[in-house]
Amino acid sequence: MGPPLLLLFGLLPGAAGRGLLRAFVVAHSHMDVGWVYTVQESMHAYAANVYTSVVEELMKGKQRKFIAVEQEFFRLWWDAVATDTHKQQVHHLLQEGQLEFVIGGQVMHDEAVTLIDDQILQLTEGHGFLYETFGIRPQFSWHVDPFGASATTPTLFALAGFNAHLISRIDYDLKADMQKNKKLQFVWRGSPSLSEKQEIFTHVMDQYSYCTPSHIPFSNRSGFYWNGIAAFPDPPKDGVYPNMSLPVTDANIHLYAQTMVANIKERAAWFQTSDVLWPWGCDKQFFNASVQYSNMDLLLDYINKHSDEFGVTVQYATVGDYFQAVYSRNLTWEIRDSQDFLPYSTEPFQAWTGFYTSRSTLKGVARRASSLLYAGESFFTQYVRKHPAGSICKREALKQLQSLRWAVSEVQHHDGITGTESPKVKDMYTSNLAYGMLNVKKLMASIIFDMNNAKKNGEVYSSIYSKDSGIPGATDVDQYVFVYNPLSWNITTFVKVSVSYSEMSVYDELGHSVPAQVQSSPESHSTYDLYILAAISGLSYRKYTVKPLNGKQSAFIGQSVKYKRKVVTRANQQNQQLLPVVNSCYQVLFDQNTNLMHSITERETNQTVQLTQEFLEYHVNGDVMKGPISDNYLFAPNASAEPVSKAVGLEVVSGNLMTEIRQYFYSNVTSRDYIYAVYTRMYTVPEGYDGKLLCHRIEQEYSVGPLELNREAVLRTSTNLNTRQLLYTDSNGYQIQKRPFKAYVNNTVARNYYPMVQTAYIEDDTTRLMLLAERAHGVSSQGNGQVEVMLHRRLWNNLQWDLNYNLTLNDSSVVRPVIWLILGAKDVTNILYRTSGLALEHRPVVVFGALSEDKPKLSGQLQQNSIHSSPVTVPPNLHLQTLSIPGWRYSSNHAGQVLSIRLGKQKQGDMDFTRVLLRIRHLYEVGEDPVLSQPVVVNLKSLLKGLGSVTVVEERSLTGTWDVNTLERWKWKTAQYPSKELSNSTETSEDYIVTVYPKEIRTFFVYFQG
């Protein structure tokens, strides 16, 4: 915990007693990890100077304080800029409470379009560094800039051991109402199932948000920004920056004080206590901390000397100081349930719902990188545990994984995966992700070769289901396809491999024929798609051999039938010709008058739903003189969406295992090129395979673009379900939010868009249509029985601010998102979608090998070894969320950790390979399913027996920095719980047996024998 209360409030003991307002001046710099400028440009222009000058200035005055937020910048400074003296000073300032790390993640993550796994990753990445380096564990959040607030984030921060959460950007009209009624502070129960166990006190910033109000009546320059505005690309040689505030002098100090006090009093009226949080700073501030503090010192001293006259005392503070003061008031707070603060509007025509889709390609790459990292972590962990004498250098291997941890963490920034950055910053994120992905692919390939004793001159190609990768064209060598299942359940699925010929056979490790289908590729005339039916145990890999045909049984060849292009007019109902496509779960009918989907019948219940799909475009304005505009952030449609194609072409490719329906959408009957395409796949699973998930999903892959300027493309699915326009969307892949359609005076279309990170669905009393996605999209229900998904945006506008920063989203790319549809009775879809969503998120990793010269002669024993003999499997209502080797050092005794850091015993760069990080998540809410919502008892020793003999299990907080037995979070008083004490909320494990309750995420450090 923090220092005792007396120390914190030793500054002005009498102030509170005299009924004075007390302002906590929190010095901070909001440092975007990318946005307009790259990280490197920012480091050079201002970010390195922030930490150098702040540390030096804090040393000059014990009363001065500062909060540090984004760890990516701090770590770059620490590793490359800070001197040994600076480092000693940082340790000293942390001990004295003058410097405080808040949030402590690599970035301030976006809350709308990020996946919970990636939020946890970036938080753990920063927390591990802070704990290893300083023995520090952040306890407060400062989520001042994400565009809307998710209900998953408060749960996440509670699980990480935080005592209070702070947000700012919520709907303008809601904030005004909460401000007026003094309701900006509450206890938030973000998870309905975890409820009060993981509740957190939440503070919503008032209308001034995180920047100091800059208007001062006695000057035409802004006030309180004495260092001015950061200059790019180079800091000015003479130290004179644009727009530096008037220095504080005897002549103006009273005017400065009056301005500051007036603002403090205005804000105090919106809160229940006389403690006022007064943020001092803004974007890219404190690059010259000397001029900042020297002016503010004078001002604070002056106000405190005249505190009786002003009715206010002021002090430098950290976020922790402020929350400690509010906590000590012992008030009773209102409870907020699991409703989030999305979407977010700043005024009637500014709905920030465009960024749910902006830069769809980056959103897709970020998720693929995350999924590859997830696979690479568990693959490497197993290798280290099972092959301690393996030939791969573990230090180098961990560095390869760390490069992708860093890149995936970085892109979670609220101007990263959101698509709200400039093109050069988008390129920075993309190249960092590509570099990390290449490293992890190489690592996985080298582990496979090491475990198969292959000579190193066997070539290896690795691919993560990307279009341009496949087996090279040689037809005379056997090709190996290694397929790794990163999930901890047994899966049966198809993996797609591009090949250059159509006649081949596929065999498993024991030489048995494997079901496969090959067909022409829709995207290329010169290649074929080979689909291999893979059945793989949890966290295991299989090895398949693809042999050119030599007279033996071949893979099935998909036969193509092309239908005439049809004009899409309202179809003639009398003369309908319906084309059926059937597997054992669904019958899908296509209307041959229009070539569009007509209906889906769920065969088990014989329930038929009328279902059509069409592409539409919203036309948006790009001229600020003509009305509201759409940009990277905002969605401001002119009118209803308009259908884009007059004609549709149809091709059906069918084989014994799969039917692929290819629809091509043209702007008119004679157009040469299509603008949109949908490839719909349905699978037939042979006897002897578990085909439940495969059969129950209708896979769709879309090709969208390039769009015309100022168009926003949506896929609208219309059904005859009576949904009352109620939509459900997921919150960061963790829980579901109910989204009733709301009518507004202005901008109703855009304000009813919501983020879909992984899941959205509509339903009537009996039947549900689910959509599962592999990247984030905006989603809405603009009519009864309808759900529309925004797939792509291409915009340009003449708003000067957007032009100055190159934030106009002229995205001319073609995007290829994938969505899986599941239709059925509610109780059935409820079971299917959890596992299906994770199966889409974590599709198997495919690594190709050609071992032409020196094929390893595989003995039977080695073959069994290559299909890991002891898979790791959890029950279907649990998800193995993390299995990794964190590598950062710590002591399980916190006092010992702090002592060894102070004595300088922890050498940075010493990696710890003995400790495994394990996270297990319960996928269901309380009461959601009679069976799957039950608590699950897990024996960690037997779960992990394939990795070795478990000797020690320590249960930790979410990011691993607290022992849960010693973690005592503040318990804030509510009407429901009038007593206030510290809360310790976890039942800890005895004898390696853990009971996991609905929606829990449990985190463990595990040690093995040897």
d(CA 444, CA 897): 33
d(CA 501, CA 520): 9
Tokens found for residue 839: 């199966």
d(CA 440, CA 376): 6
Q: Is the distance from CB of 319 to CB of 67 less than 8 angstroms? A: yes
Tokens found for residue 969: 């979070």
Active site residue 145: yes
Q: Is it true that the peptide bond before 233 is cis, omega within 30 degrees of 0? A: yes
3-state DSSP: the chain helix, strand, coil percent, rounded to 5? 25, 30, 45
d(CA 762, CA 781): 8
Q: What torsion do the CA atoms of 848, 852, 856, 860 make, to the nearest 10 degrees?
A: 70
Report the SS3 class of residue 434. helix
- Sequence-distant contacts of 746-751: CB under 8 A, at least 24 apart: 746/348, 746/349, 747/345, 747/348, 747/349, 747/351, 747/628, 747/636, 749/618, 749/637, 749/640, 749/780, 749/782, 750/351, 750/353, 750/354, 750/634, 750/635, 750/636, 750/637, 751/343, 751/345, 751/351, 751/353
Q: Is the distance from CB of 788 to CB of 715 less than 8 angstroms? A: yes
d(CA 576, CA 565): 16
- Per the DSSP assignment, residues forming a β-bridge with 582 are 587
Would you list the DSSP string of 707-762?
Answer: PPTTEEEEEEEEES---TTEEEEEETTTEEEEEE----SS-HHHHT-EEESSEEEE
d(CA 577, CA 59): 81
- Residue 524 CA, chain-centre distance (Å), reads 33
- Catalytic position from the list 118, 145, 529, 591: 145
Q: What's the burial of 579, exposed, middle or buried (CB within 10 Å: 0-12/13-18/19+)?
A: middle
d(CA 179, CA 266): 11
DSSP 8-state assignment for residue 47? I
The Cβ of residue 563 has, within 10 Å, a number of other Cβ atoms equal to 15
Question: CA-CA distances (angstroms) from residue 559 to 387, 502, 556, 660, 664?
Answer: 46, 12, 9, 10, 18
Report the SS3 class of residue 490. coil
Active site residues: 145
